[in-house]
Amino acid sequence: MAEKPASLHEYWYPTHAGEQNPALDSLKKSVKRQKPLTRFIQAIPMALLLFAMYAWVTFVLTFFTGEELFSSENTIGFVLALSTAVVILGGVIYKYAVTHHVYLVDFTVAELPEEYEVPNSNIQGPLTPAFKPESVEFVEKLAKRTGLGEHTYFPKVFHQKELIRPTMELSREEAMLVATNTCDKLFEQTKISPKDVDCVITNCSLFCPTPSMSAMIMNHYKMRDTCKNFSLGGMGCSAGLISIDLAKDFLASHSNSNVLVFSTENITHSLYYGNERSRLLPYTLFRLGGAAILLSNKSSMKRKALYELTNLVRVNRSSDDESYNVVFQSEDECGEKGIALGRQLVTCVSKALAKNLSILFPQVLTYKELLKYGIDYIKRMTNAEYRKNAKPYIPDVSETFQGYCIHAGGRGVIDGIQKNFGLSDEDCLASRASLYRFGNTSSASIWYELMFIERCKYLMRGDNVLQLAFGSGLKVNSAVWQKLN
């Protein structure tokens, strides 16, 4: 009998920090960090800069004075050289000092009581009468191949005895269930009062109520009147990092501030009652979930923060018709509203991902890999035969990233990224474990994956984690977080 693919295995997801499991041994052994030679090479540019600065100052001053720089007859030259060096070094220090820091103080994910769990055999529940028998059979058959486990969450509407059409009240109830589950834990863990929050940013693609979701949170926690709020809608599964980017911009212009980010998707409000197969796919993948993240630029927070944001890249291919339409909300022939997933989804994601990483890699790769990557790029631009016959060079990112959070959009997406970028099973474990335990939680999935990494406790100070998120539009966003404490 053929062995199951890795994406269909059962996966362990830790329930708390420090939980032990046999999978941890191989996970910890798989982590690679920069070798001494790599660190030495990385330090060469700064050393060359300092040497070039010294050589230039020496040349200029001796050229005009005719005396050696350190001779007793050239006191003026020495003072000028020293002053110039101080000014240049001061400029470098100032550049680093005024860098706008974004600290990830802490974060939480929604983990709900057992009463919200639904097995794959009953994922349509009370909605079954709304579908044709062949649609029910299609969903049940597909559900066995998604890589999801038997304990994922569905909202209240799935736990009724009879079919209930979603209402604004039920949708709000779901949103606040997840928001309070995550935010309560976040405020408790960080010892931050809701009144200390300077900005609230929420993202939810399909549920955009009035008042907004961010206003709902502010009302529930009775936040200050001067607290700013933003609610992002229709931004797809990549919206989690769009919220982080918005928070980064807010912190850049507001010193000593705290930002609360809440990422979720509303299952109740996005239910589909038709029989078009492309719109039935979300039933087999999307599940109830969410995450709350506290960001800050306060220097006092650095001591307790988990990570610092070092890089964030966003790519949006909405100008391409195929990418724009591959995830699309509309009515079917019977007037039932739903999300249609196109067959070219993986292809469109691959194109946008390649564009995103072509921007990110030059910022983060080691010089050794950057040189190889650059040579391959130049060959492709100048040699048609090489471009036609040679496979693109895939950089070795094992020394660059020690953790990976690949959006758990489905097992096919995770498998494709693993294959295309030469990642190991251990590199993709956080994504597959999150997909198995919680399903596709949309924009929150990358935070379930980061929680997996945090609870496994295998990162060290200075390690880097890559988050990759992609969603409708089509958008691909990436972020790099450096471990602090």
- The answer to whether 446 and 405 have CB atoms below 8 angstroms apart is yes
The answer to whether residue 8 is domain-embedded is no
Report how far apart, in Å, the C-alpha atoms of 12 and of each of 23, 24, 50, 143, 224 are: 8, 10, 50, 19, 41
pLDDT of residue 98: 60
pLDDT of residue 75: 62
Contacts of 191 (CB under 8 A, 6+ apart): none
Q: Going by DSSP bridges, is the β-strand pair 403-406/464-471 parallel, antiparallel, or unpaired?
A: parallel
Query: In this structure, are 280 and 366 located in the same domain?
Result: no
Integer Cα distance of 135 and 131 in angstroms: 6
The answer to whether residue 35 is domain-embedded is no
Query: In this structure, are 84 and 141 located in the same domain?
Result: no
> How many domains, in total, are found in the chain?
3
The answer to whether residue 23 is domain-embedded is no
pTM: 0.88
pLDDT of residue 166: 86
The answer to whether residue 470 is domain-embedded is yes
Q: Which helix (H) or strand (E) holds 260?
A: strand 258-264
The answer to whether residue 33 is domain-embedded is no
Report how far apart, in Å, the C-alpha atoms of 360 and of each of 23, 244, 323 are: 30, 16, 21
pLDDT of residue 1: 46
Q: Going by DSSP bridges, is the β-strand pair 103-109/117-118 parallel, antiparallel, or unpaired?
A: unpaired
Query: In this structure, are 134 and 148 located in the same domain?
Result: yes
How many whole angstroms from its chain centre is CA 431?
A: 11
Query: In this structure, are 320 and 441 located in the same domain?
Result: yes
How many whole angstroms from its chain centre is CA 71?
A: 57
Q: Going by DSSP bridges, is the β-strand pair 327-331/103-109 parallel, antiparallel, or unpaired?
A: unpaired
Query: In this structure, are 187 and 223 located in the same domain?
Result: yes
What is the domain range of residue 472? 310-483
- Which residue among 286, 309, 332 closes a domain? 309
Q: What is the CA radius of gyration of the chain?
A: 26
Q: Which parts of the chain have pLDDT scores under 50?
A: 1
Give the CATH number, domain containing residue 437. 3.40.47.10
Q: Going by DSSP bridges, is the β-strand pair 117-118/152-153 parallel, antiparallel, or unpaired?
A: antiparallel
- The answer to whether 480 and 330 have CB atoms below 8 angstroms apart is no
pLDDT of residue 254: 96
Find where tokens 């029989």 sit: 275
Alpha-carbon dihedral angle through residues 413, 415, 417, 423, given to the nearest 10 degrees = 150
The answer to whether residue 36 is domain-embedded is no
pLDDT of residue 205: 95
